[in-house]
Amino acid sequence: MTNSRFLSRLAPAGLVLLCLPLLSQVAAARPNPGGLGGPASGVGVRPGAGAGRAGVGYGGVGGPYSGAGVRPGAGWGAPGVGLTRAPGAAYGAAVYHPAWNAGGYWAARPWSYGWYGATPVAWAAAAGVASTAAITAAVNASVATSSAVIVVPGTPYQLNYASVVGLPNNRVSFTYINTGLALTASGDCLLGRVDGLAATGIRAQLLDAACTVAYGPGV
C-alpha cells in the first residue's frame, strides 16, 4: 500500500494523533504569552499606567502621594498664637488690671526693679521726698479699690501708676493729672531730672513717686 493511501485512511483522526508530537514541540519552542500585564503581554496593560501611579494616583489625605491634599501644619493650633501673659501685658496701659491685687503689681513688673529707694538717691534726699513705704502703701490701696491713680504726697498731682513704664538706663515714663488735665512726662530716676530739667519742689515729689512705682522694692 502506498503512503498516500495509508495517510488517507488515517485521516482525519489518525492525522491529528500523528501531529500531536509536532505541535507540542512548536508550543515548547514558543514562550507562554503570560497574563494580563505580564512580561510577555506586549501592548497590553503596562505596569504603572493605571490609577494610583506614584505621584499621580489618589493617595490618602495628607499622604506622600496626595499632592494638593491636606498638608501638615495647615490646621488650627499653630505654636505661639496663645494669649499674652497678664498682668505684664497691662503695664503702661494706664488702666487697672485685676491681677494686680494682693501685691500682684509689684511681683510681675516686666523690667528690672528693686534698686530705687534701697539706698538714698542724692537728689531725692535733698528734695525731702515721701518715703518708699508711703508710695507703696498708696499704690496697694488704689489697687484694692480698682483705681489706677494715687495722690502724690505734698502735691496737687495724681500719678497714674498704671501708666508707669520702666525704660533703659534707669529712666521712666508716666502720665499724671494736674487740675483735671492728663499730662505725660519722662524722667531720669538716677539723676533726678523730669523732661530734661532738674526735679525740684513738687516736681521732685512727682518723679520720686514714679520712680518708686517703677523701680521700688514694692514692700
What is the tens place of the pLDDT at every residue in 47-103? 554 454 554 445 555 555 555 554 555 544 444 444 344 456 688 999 999 888 888
177 sits in which H/E element = strand 171-178
Spatial separation of the C-alpha atoms in residues 186 and 204, rounded to whole Å:
12
Residue 206 counted as domain residue? yes
- Residues 206 and 119 grouped into a single domain: yes
If you search the block for the grid coordinates 506622600, which residue do you land on?
64
- Residues 98 and 24 grouped into a single domain: no
User: What is the Cα gyration radius of the chain?
Assistant: 47
- Residues 211 and 116 grouped into a single domain: yes
Residues of the chain scoring pLDDT < 50: 2-20, 22-24, 26-27, 29-30, 45, 49-50, 52, 55-57, 70, 75-86
Residue 172 counted as domain residue? yes
Residue 166 counted as domain residue? yes
**For residue 119, what pLDDT is reported?**
85
If you search the block for the grid coordinates 528693686, which residue do you land on?
114
- CA proximity to 149, closest of 185, 112, 131, 174: 174
User: In total, how many domains does the chain have?
Assistant: 2
What residue numbers bound the domain in which 9 lies? 1-30
Residue 62 counted as domain residue? no
pTM over 0.75: no
Residue 46 counted as domain residue? no
- Residues 25 and 97 grouped into a single domain: no
